[in-house]
Copies of this chain bind each other. A is one copy, B any other.
Amino acid sequence: MSLKDTAQASNCTAMSDVLNRIGDKWSVMVVGILSRSGTIRFNELKRSINGVSQRMLTLTLRNLERDGLVTRTIYPEVPPRVEYGLTELGKTLTGPINSLWDWSAEHHGSIIDARSIYDDRQTAVAAEAPRKIAYARG
């Protein structure tokens, strides 16, 4: 274990704090999409992310903006246009995020399979032991 590793292991705080913000589903999605789109409008983004509510997308974008990862540009037009993009800091996140994205695409099947096997085994174990342990205390 290198010094660097030791420092990382002991200082889970930074990692923890970062994960509290960017470790949720929607944040990872947004950064992933933005890294490909360059710049994109609110509703485009909403359509790109399956299942996100307007509320959650707004909150996610505000948090990412607050943390200096995402830019928000308002064009004073009618109807209003707001475009989102990655900051320089945000762009440095695309490496880790995209490698996680690639990993998901590649190994999702294996996870699904593992779940089935695990669940089948649990069901079998539960069925095998209908008898209770009877014992007297004292």
CA of A19 to CA of B92 in the docked complex: distance in angstroms? 20
Rounded to whole angstroms, the CA-CA distance of A49 and B16 in the bound complex is 10
Q: Add 19 more A-B contacts to A11-B105, A67-B111, A68-B117 (CB < 8 A).
A: A8-B32, A8-B101, A9-B32, A9-B36, A14-B105, A15-B32, A16-B25, A16-B29, A18-B104, A18-B111, A19-B25, A19-B29, A20-B25, A23-B24, A65-B118, A68-B113, A89-B110, A95-B99, A95-B103
Q: Considering the chains assembled together, what is the distance between the CA atoms of A134 and B93 in angstroms?
A: 45
Main secondary structure of the interface of A (DSSP, over half): helix
Number of chain A residues whose Cβ lies closer than 8 Å to a Cβ of chain B: 56
What's the number of copies of this chain in the assembled complex? Answer: 2
